[in-house]
Amino acid sequence: MDFYTTAFELIDMRSFSNLWFWITLAYAWSAASHYVIGVPYDVVARAVKYGGQVEQDLKDLVRVNANRFIYIADNAGNWLVGFAFFALTAMAMLGFYYGMEFSQALFMIFAPMSLVFGLSVRCARRIDHTSLADIRQKLRRQRLAIQVIGMISILVTSMWGMFHNLSVGVLGG
């Protein structure tokens, strides 16, 4: 066996029957719900519990990350939206019209993540950097929204993956 045959047997391009796809999907949603607008959510809990320097660190993290999201949205927002919709449309067309399973899998990950990014920009614009109560409330709501989107996305992805695996069959027919 040559290297390419071995590599492509190890890295199976059939996504929905591949364990690595499901690990990637679980990690993507776990990271998205833990890092709310780039701020680790455990810092919020520690700031509420301990206060003091941890609270100031949280306010600084929120200020820096919110300003970063706002800067990106203001300066490159139109280009990002255009490129994102182009990429999502290409993945959807390749996946669902032409039947490429890898594009379907990418679409199932990136379509809801683009919604999460939009909600993160909205949260960054609305957050008050000075009030711990406002920071905690906004980040908690944002995290809940991300988790709901993630649960729906994982449900839809798993249902589509099961349908796809059952329709393809064991022998590939």
pLDDT tens readout for residues 10-39:
665 677 888 888 999 999 999 999 999 999
Phi-psi category of 169—alpha, beta or left, where left has phi over 0 and alpha has psi -120 to 50? left
Q: Write down the pTM of the prediction.
A: 0.85
Task: Say if residue 171's pLDDT is above 60.
Answer: no
Cα separation, 69 vs 100, in Å, equals 33
Give the confidence band of 132 by pLDDT, cuts at 50, 70, 90: confident
Give the confidence band of 49 by pLDDT, cuts at 50, 70, 90: confident
Phi, psi of 40 (to 5 degrees): -60, 130
Cα separation, 107 vs 114, in Å, equals 10
Of 166, 81, 156, the closest CA to residue 121 belongs to 81
